[in-house]
Homo-oligomer: A and B are copies of this chain.
Amino acid sequence: MRKVFQADLQQIGEELIEMSRLVATAMERAYESFANADIELAQEVIGEDAKIDFLQNQLDERAIDVLALQGPVASDLRMIVGSLRMSASLERMGDLARHVAQLARLRFPQQVVPDSIAPTFQAMAELDIAIAGKVGELLDSRDLAVAREIIELNTKIDELHVSIFKAVASPEWSHSGPMTADVTLTSRYLERFGDHGVSVARKVSYLVTGEWDPDITVF
């Protein structure tokens, strides 16, 4: 029984890592479609989000089966419940990558954002992809130094997010209403993606230490 249980736990852990890989790829491809106004790629990313949703459902069903059949307690129980939370965060990261691709599709063949803003979004997307990669690494290693790295990467995203609003508020900003709205939404999507990565990092940290780390907070 115990052996089956350990195999289940390991399977759930691997599915979380697989989800983190898929969302890293989703954001990488979504941003590529966005930056290059590549509608075929955008369509692919949008279609492939279903795979992430499917994986979440599969993981959640497995977790519920483990709860029903194995009746875990203490840290094992918290691990399973934590997995349900983490799969929800990862699924949401997939949605946000999809939203970026949907903006690319909506504005095709135009670019979504002005050239002056593109490098900032490029940097935010790269930080998001790095965070998704680190989330996989953290889930695998449970090394809390990686959790700290995720927080630091997310702090940089927040700074870039603020810089976008400063650019929109500057006297030089002369872009149209729709472009300003698209810039605002893109910045929000890229910023929220990082926040969900931090949520996973907090959860792993809690599961490892048994305590919420006050330095790992997300708003």
* Chain A residues in the interface with B (C-beta under 8 A): 60, 63-64, 67-68, 71, 73-74, 77-78, 81, 84-85, 88, 165, 168-170, 173, 175-178, 180-181, 183-185, 188
Contacts and interface: CB of A to CB of B under 8 A. Distances in A.
Given A64-B78, A168-B177, 17 more contacts: A64-B77, A67-B77, A67-B81, A68-B74, A84-B84, A85-B88, A168-B181, A169-B176, A169-B177, A170-B177, A175-B177, A177-B180, A180-B180, A181-B181, A181-B183, A181-B184, A184-B185
A76 to B, nearest CB: 10
B78 A81 contact: no
Nearest to A212: B57
- The main secondary structure of chain A at its interface with chain B is helix
B67 A67 contact: yes
Contacts of A183: 181
